[in-house]
Amino acid sequence: MTRPATQADGLVWITGASSGIGAALARRLARQGWTVAVSARGEDALKALAAEHPGKIIPVPLDISDADAVAQAVDRIEAEHGPIACAVLNAGIYIPVHAENPDYQAYAKTFAVNLNGTAACVSALTGRMAKRRKGQIAIVSSATGVGGMPTASAYGASKAALINMAECLAIELHRYGVHIQVITPGFVETPAQDDNEFPKPFMISAEEAASRIASGLRSRRFEITFPRRFTLALKAIYALPRAWHIALVRRQTGWSKPPEG
């Protein structure tokens, strides 16, 4: 049987915590009394965040696309601060790809961070958690990972893979007492949305997203999804036969019109 981690089990590690959802979640969990190790590439932003909660937030600068650096960072966190009871693997990038003007590097960069980087974090954690017979890993995917969206063939593919990864881990690690969750947010107002040219229905703040995640982390649920009125409506569309939902998404997003020029 798995269970959510408690503060008595150790600390929380959040990747992608220099801004947006990760930073808001780090602040919220630190206010609740957790010790929180925070990672991202932006060292100055991590230090500024740590200064808001001295001793409770520990900056651990890291590029998750470097798997050796990830393994070393996890070793260092545990050696210096104790076991990682809960990891929120949140680091991610969004690069829109226009298929008529393809850019392989956008795919490569997206997969290197969102997919391979998350795999590096998972690889550094699951063995030690299985040995301890406890632990919690929440992987941040996206509502975009549930089905196709225009310009998301790199981002959406990486996020769909993370949903599958989390499902596989949940199946395998349950008997070792390791609690696996996947987080599928709709639109959240963060720097990641700056490159998104679409309407963003039901967009919520990073603080609201952090509040939903924090309460989801305390639950036994596999999926933490919000805002539910948006993500559940999207899932209903994706439950239709694929040809129908593809046509519907094309129409709703304006991609059924002929290209300009």
Ligand X SMILES: NC(=O)c1ccc[n+]([C@@H]2O[C@H](COP(=O)([O-])OP(=O)(O)OC[C@H]3O[C@@H](n4cnc5c(N)ncnc54)[C@H](OP(=O)(O)O)[C@@H]3O)[C@@H](O)[C@H]2O)c1
166 and 141 in contact (C-beta within 8 Å)? yes
Tokens of 105: 């590097």
Using CB under 6 A, which of 7, 28, 42, 233 touches ligand X? 42
- Contact between 40 and ligand X by CB under 6 A: the answer reads yes
Total residues at interface with ligand X (CB under 6 A) = 31
What is the sign, positive or negative, of the torsion defined by CA atoms of 218, 138, 61, 189? negative
- Contact between 147 and ligand X by CB under 6 A: the answer reads no
Phi, psi of 130 (to 5 degrees): -60, -40
- Contact between 193 and ligand X by CB under 6 A: the answer reads yes
Binding segment (CB under 6 A) for ligand X, from list 15-23, 49-57, 80-88, 168-176 = 15-23
Q: Is 155 a catalytic residue?
A: yes
Q: How far apart are CA 89 and CA 181, in angstroms?
A: 10
- Contact between 235 and ligand X by CB under 6 A: the answer reads no
155 and 110 in contact (C-beta within 8 Å)? yes
- Contact between 142 and ligand X by CB under 6 A: the answer reads yes
- Contact between 10 and ligand X by CB under 6 A: the answer reads no
Q: How far apart are CA 28 and CA 22, in angstroms?
A: 10
Q: What stretch of H or E contains 94?
A: none
Using CB under 6 A, which of 110, 151, 190, 225 touches ligand X? 190
Provide the annotated active-site residues: 155
Residues that bind ligand X (CB under 6 A): 15-22, 40-42, 62-65, 90-94, 113, 117, 140, 142, 185, 187-188, 190-193
